[in-house]
Amino acid sequence: MANGDKKEYTGAQMVMESFLRVGVDTIFGLPGGANLPLYDVLPEYYPRIKHYTVKHEQAAAHAADAYARIKGTAGVCYATSGPGATNLVTGIANAFMDSVPLVCVTGQVIRALIGRDGFQEADIQGITIPITKHNELVLDVDDIPRAMQQAFHIATTGRPGPVLVDIPRDTLQEKGEFYWSDKVQLRGYRQDNFAPDPNEIQKAADLIAQSERPVILAGHGVIISRAYDELLKLAETANIPVITTLLGISGFPGTHPLYLGMPGMHGMYWNNRAINEADLLIGLGVRFDDRVTGRLKDFAPKAKIVHIEIDEAEIGKNVRPAAAIHCDLKAGLTELNKHVKPKERSAWFEWIDDMRRNHPSITIRETDEVLPQYVIDSIYRETKGDCIVCTGVGQHQMWAAQYFWYDKPNSFVTSGGLGTMGFEVPAAMGAQVAAPDETIWSICGDGGFMMTMQELATIAEYNWPIKFAIINNGTLGMVRQWQELFYGNNIVSTPLKNPDFVKLAEAFGVKGLRAERKEEVRPTIHAAMEHDGPVVIDFRVHYDENVYPMVPPGASLDETIEVPATETAPAQEVKA
């Protein structure tokens, strides 16, 4: 059917027909009374559109989020009305904070009951206004194609983000004319797909040419815009070291000589000092988040700032740029690279090398205990980095960022802005569906794993060969670390009474393994990789290991705490 043609469908069929027109082939969701019409038509569209049934709607949102990150298209999830829809909220907020394109379709109570406190009614449109780019309650069946077309357009253009479409059950069951427009026109909506300002491009190029101590700070925008080659060209041509934010990890090759790692609260010491000493900081697809900048008024005090960013609201919000390039990052770097010339910066690299040599930030002390850093390093060495890593939030996340080198583009999936514990399990599901031929490692905290572990049933059902590495320290590690360092070691409500994770995995029909001694770590990882189905590994690690380096809350990057001497000696520096 050509664009502009009309044909009669039910509302539920219109949703599916809309999916076909924008290329959707995957849905994560859970049925309920108000969205049953959407499930009633699924057999009609399968196998063109595959639906994966989760055990909790939060998992549907997180799986769709990770799917979108890996695939580069909008992720899609379903939920019913009331608690089904509200269970999506954390996942929607997570996607909003991390600029992930997500389209959430929720069923709503019938139109006659809206506003009357009907069974399983919740104003999900009102609830999600602050955490969506756009949302809509569709009351007219003929509006469904327009609403769906606009939802995908808004979610995927400009700075990506989540969109929610709420449709009453009787609207889904009603019949109407399906009309698909040739063009999406939204009054007041800016797509931000314009060309970069040539004057600002030249200004940035001049600043790069004049600088002696430049550094690139590359963020999630590099991955969203798929600007890997353009970033590499800029760094290599201008001979500039590259630092990536947490969400920018895997946007630049981790073993490249110009790569320095992550900055900020748990970034490398040398990176935080380099930002303080730099005379030019080139921010690429970043929003200068507080976990990166530390105390904002002391951030990059000697540096002029170049900022390339698709969201105009982010430019000048936290730092004042000397050159502001408002455009898609890939387009901006393409233009900037035309003006950049090679330059020798030997004194700058000598300073950085001295910092790295005198202040090693990532070391694994020699001990017979199973250290979490050693586990992450062992997964890297056993996989040779050829995998996609998903994490939750906490200490294990920081160690996964510090001790794994991501040469494969877009191979690190984590919750950045919202910091959602439990993200690691459903995110691995979405990543596996998006990249079925890739090996997916989910590095989990024991606390976060417990929040979404019900999805092991989903994983067993579809036999996704995901490998789960639970960094089991028996505590909410990052919170305990703050209690130790900033609350007088008053350890309250952070110790965990964990189940036997091996037995738990087996109860779900998943292979369970355990490593309690250092010599068991690499053989256990190898055994997991040899197994052709899902595996949960319980790594029993030292309970009070802390993440270093660390910038204390409210401090500047110049006040970074290095690894205490008691935790480094004797130690072995870790290299790729």
Q: What are phi and psi of 382, to 5 degrees?
A: -70, -35
Residue 305 gets which letter from DSSP? E
The CATH class of 198-358 is alpha beta
The domain 6-179: what is its CATH number?
3.40.50.970
The three-state secondary structure class of 167 is: strand
**How many angstroms separate the CA atoms of 440 and 457, rounded?**
17
DSSP secondary structure, 254-285, as one string? TTSTTEEE--STTS-HHHHHHHHH-SEEEEES
C-alpha count within 13 angstroms, C-beta hemisphere, residue 251: 31
**Residue carrying the six token digits 């992720």:** 75
Q: Which residue has the tokens 């300073």?
A: 351
The answer to whether 118 and 177 are in contact (CB under 8 A) is no
List pLDDT tens digits, range 390-415: 999 999 999 999 999 999 999 999 99
Residue 142: partners with Cβ closer than 8 Å, 6 or more residues away = 176, 177, 179
Q: Where are the domains of the chain?
A: 6-179, 198-358, 363-547
CATH number of the domain located at residue range(s) 363-547 in this protein = 3.40.50.970
User: Is the separation of the CB atoms in 281 and 300 below 8 Å?
Assistant: yes
pLDDT at 6: 65
* Whole-number Å distance between alpha carbons of 97 and 152: 18
CB atoms near residue 418 (< 10 Å): 17
Phi, psi of 83 (to 5 degrees): -65, -30
Q: Which of 26, 23, 33 is nearest to 54 (CA)?
A: 26
- Cα-Cα-Cα-Cα torsion 480, 482, 483, 484, nearest 10 degrees, comes to 90
**For the chain (length 576 residues), average pLDDT per consecutive 10?**
67 98 98 98 94 98 98 98 98 98 98 95 97 98 97 96 98 96 85 83 98 98 98 98 98 98 96 97 97 95 97 95 96 97 96 94 90 97 97 98 97 97 98 98 98 98 98 97 96 97 98 97 98 98 94 94 66 63
C-beta of residue 81 within 8 angstroms of C-beta of residue 107: yes
Mutual angle of helices 395-402 and 477-486, in 10-degree steps: 100
* Other Cβ atoms closer than 10 A to 282: 30
Cβ atoms of residues 310 and 285 within 8 Å? yes
pLDDT tens, position by position, 70-90: 999 999 999 999 999 999 999
Structure tokens at 223: 């991955």
Give SS3 for 538.
strand
